[in-house]
């Protein structure tokens, strides 16, 4: 039995991952704002510190898996909060629990990026650069100047790059670190976007070669694989789980 921490565990993809891991008879430590083993708000530094400490207390300093699923969607009008949760909340969990993962057996972490990382125009690189530099105050200030869709996509791009940048150090620590980049999949978060008068039509128009949206369980399949003993030579990748959208829109990009 492995011990795996999952943020955003109370709903959506996080809940699907929790169900899957428990079905596989792993011990799961869930983190969310409510209805979790550890109640914490990852939008704030204090909440992140509380979450990290809670996980360390629960696992005794030894962890085999981490899946930072907590996030909010592009329909959210508070762009600064998107940056705070989607990027800084996830990275705080990664870095805060790296040592505990290093103490575990065959440990791995899977971060949730998005295929919007390659479909939303970057424009000014300052926001992504600030995220990667750990300059949260400046990144949040920049985020507030842009719409939610732009910051959502760019926060997920920064998160994917953060995974790649950590590949050397995490590999040396014996911890595999990868990301999945989902396309639109059925969830309350997606429905909130569909219900938004501005975002809804854009989501509906999103091209998907398989001609359907995914499900949370299909994304959980990819996460389960990357955490498992079937992926022991996979490290530092961003796996698109999006029905072919990235391939359609970026056919020459590898």
Residues identified as active-site: 152
Spatial distance between the Cα atoms of 151 and 10, rounded to a whole number of angstroms: 24
Three-class secondary structure of residue 194 per DSSP: helix
Spatial distance between the Cα atoms of 7 and 42, rounded to a whole number of angstroms: 9
Spatial distance between the Cα atoms of 179 and 246, rounded to a whole number of angstroms: 15
Q: What is the DSSP string of 215-245?
A: EHHHHHHHHHHHHSGGGTT--S-EEEESTTH
Beta strand 3-7 with 238-241 is unpaired
- The enclosing H or E element of 176 equals strand 176-182
């Amino acid at each position: 039995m492995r011990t795996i921490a999952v943020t955003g565990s109370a709903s959506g993809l996080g809940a699907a991952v929790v169900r899957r891991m428990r079905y596989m008879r792993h011990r799961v430590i869930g983190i969310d704002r409510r209805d979790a083993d550890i109640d914490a708000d990852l939008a704030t530094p204090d909440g992140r510190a509380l979450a990290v400490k809670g996980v360390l207390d629960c696992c005794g300093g030894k962890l085999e898996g981490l899946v930072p699923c907590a996030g909010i969607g592009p329909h959210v009008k508070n762009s600064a909060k998107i940056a705070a949760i989607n990027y800084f909340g996830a990275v705080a969990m990664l870095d805060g629990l790296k040592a505990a993962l290093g103490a575990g057996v065959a440990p791995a972490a899977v971060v949730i990026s998005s295929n919007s990382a390659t479909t939303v125009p970057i424009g000014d690189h300052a926001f992504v650069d600030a995220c990667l530099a750990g300059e949260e105050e400046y990144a949040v200030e920049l985020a507030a100047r842009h719409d939610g869709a732009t910051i959502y996509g760019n926060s997920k791009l920064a998160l994917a790059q953060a995974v790649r940048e950590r590949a050397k150090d995490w590999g040396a620590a014996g911890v595999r670190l990868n990301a999945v980049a989902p396309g639109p999949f059925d969830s309350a978060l997606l429905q909130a976007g569909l219900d938004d008068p501005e975002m809804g039509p854009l989501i509906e128009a999103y091209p998907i070669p398989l001609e359907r949206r995914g499900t949370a369980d299909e994304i959980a399949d990819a996460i389960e694989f990357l955490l498992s003993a079937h992926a022991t030579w996979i490290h530092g990748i961003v796996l698109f789980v999006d029905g072919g959208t990235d391939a359609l829109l970026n056919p020459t990009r590898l």
